[in-house]
Amino acid sequence: MIVKVADLKQYLYCPRIIYFTYVAPVEKKVTAKMAIGKEEHYATVRLEERRRLRAYGLSEGERHFNAYFYSERLRLEGVLDMYIVTPRGNFPVDFKNACRVALNHKYQLVAYALLLEDHFGRPVRGGFIYLIPRKQVHYLEITPEARLYTKKLIGAVRNLVAREHFPEVPRRSGRCADCEYRNYCGDVL
């Protein structure tokens, strides 16, 4: 199974989403919030194309947008919002419709870093998360621990699908209130 970078985010939000995506697929409702989020995302890409690199603390570099990457070694794929090629190295950039950097954003970024590394054969030491509502750029170091955990997550997604395991409700069940799969989870309050 080829895992998508977005699957890691979903897995961390709730593993059941992986079950509903791959094991017993259901139709999910696209909420108004999601549609607006997508539009804001595109608008950010359009703006970013005209912006300077200063926000990223870089003096020079070449930006590339919406790039598809696949790693045969990891059997992982994803479309990266942006990456910057500089003499100092390559940096993945992920745009998020969020006001703070969450854990699942971090591991998505690490997964993109792994894809960039495999594609260019150059180590990636850091990357950026751009928070759209705040217009803020956050630098994250790609640590050995984060790499290891990301690889474990890729394995966990694959394992869940192979075993066709229906996971428990996440401990933070507050997430269910906003979830587009809520109709399929009869056991949540």
**Minimum distance, C-beta of residue 74 to ligand SF4, in the bound complex (Å):** 26
**How far is it, in rounded angstroms, from Cα 149 to Cα 128?**
19
Residue 93 within binding range of ligand SF4, rule CB under 6 A: no
Q: Across the chain, how many H-helices and E-strands are there?
A: 5, 6
Instruction: State how beta strands 89-96 and 76-86 pair.
Output: antiparallel
What lies within 8 Å, CB to CB, of 43 at 6+ separation is none
Judged by CB under 6 A, which stretch of 10-18, 21-29, 86-94, 113-121 contacts ligand SF4? 10-18
Q: Is 7 helix (H, G, I), strand (E, B) or coil?
A: helix
Cα dist from 33 to 40, 97, 178, 180, whole Å: 11, 10, 10, 11
Residue 76 within binding range of ligand SF4, rule CB under 6 A: no
Nearer to ligand SF4, 71 or 108 (CB): 108
Q: Is 28 helix (H, G, I), strand (E, B) or coil?
A: coil
b/e burial code for range 64-76 (CB count within 10 A of at least 16 → b): eeebebebeebeb
Nearer to ligand SF4, 46 or 171 (CB): 171
Residue 179 within binding range of ligand SF4, rule CB under 6 A: yes
Residue 185 within binding range of ligand SF4, rule CB under 6 A: yes
Nearer to ligand SF4, 21 or 71 (CB): 21
Residue 28 within binding range of ligand SF4, rule CB under 6 A: no
**Minimum distance, C-beta of residue 182 to ligand SF4, in the bound complex (Å):** 4
Q: Binding residues for ligand SF4, how many (CB under 6 A)?
A: 12
Residues between 114 and 173 that touch ligand SF4 (CB under 6 A)? 169-170
Binding site for ligand SF4 (CB under 6 A): 14, 16-17, 169-170, 175-176, 179, 181-182, 185, 188
